[in-house]
Amino acid sequence: MNVSFELADEQATLAFGAQLVACMNDDMRIYLSGDLGAGKTTLTRGVLRGLGYEGAVKSPTYTLVEPYQALAKTLYHFDLYRLGAPEEIEYMGLRDYFDDSAIVLVEWPERGLPLLPRPDLAITIVVADSGRRATLVAESAVGEECLHSLQATFL
Ligand code: ADP
Ligand code: MG
């Protein structure tokens, strides 16, 4: 199953991220693909805003992962852009984060494949006119449910 959403501006990307929270469980895994500047970090910021987190949200380009606590939930935000090889996930102990009961959002998951577990939702963002188009693919039952409820609520 595969659904696209048109995001007219940055606010729409933030609102879409916040809307995702409604259908997320506490160990949801979401992979975010798209070029530099597509809006992966903006979407992540929207998710964190939806969870009530008010602080700064930047791509963890050098640290590769940034942990957040909000609404008694743990969220790990990964940016694997600078990962040299998938094996570094093992060396750097990053694999353990995926075993935690936590929401996990990953920018540049391609860099970590095939050593990453499958996501619940794979989101690809592309530039479309002056905005963005986000295409979501459900890869688990939870992801599928989430897509259905987003389709019904996010217009
Ligand atoms: P990435 O993490 O994919 O490299 P960022 O989220 O850091 O991208 O940056 C995306 C840029 O695009 C920001 O300048 C943001 O304001 C802008 N942006 C985000 N969503 C949209 C949208 N729907 N339409 C137009 N611009 C957007
Ligand atoms: Mg980013």
For residues 130 and 104, what is the distance between their CA atoms, to the nearest angstrom?
Answer: 29
Ligand 1 center from residue 123 Cα (angstroms): 14
Q: Is 40 in the pocket of ligand 1 (CB under 6 A)?
A: yes
Determine the pLDDT at residue 100: 81
Upstream peptide bond of 114 is cis (omega within 30 degrees of 0): yes
Q: Is 77 in the pocket of ligand 1 (CB under 6 A)?
A: no
For residues 111 and 89, what is the distance between their CA atoms, to the nearest angstrom?
Answer: 10
Q: Is 10 in the pocket of ligand 1 (CB under 6 A)?
A: yes
Determine the pLDDT at residue 127: 98
Among protein residues, the one with the nearest Cα to ligand 1's atom 20 is: 10
Determine the pLDDT at residue 92: 87
Rg from Cα positions in the chain: 14
Determine the pLDDT at residue 154: 79
| Sheet of strand 131-138, all strands in order from the earlier edge strand to the far edge | 2-7, 131-138, 121-128, 29-33, 103-107, 73-79, 65-70
Tens digit of pLDDT at every position of the chain (155 positions): 889 999 999 999 999 999 999 999 999 999 999 999 999 999 999 999 999 999 999 999 889 999 999 988 999 999 999 999 999 999 888 989 988 899 999 999 999 999 999 999 999 999 999 999 999 999 999 999 999 999 998 77
Ligand 2 center from residue 78 Cα (angstroms): 9
Distances (CA, A) of 102 to 30, 66, 98: 11, 12, 8
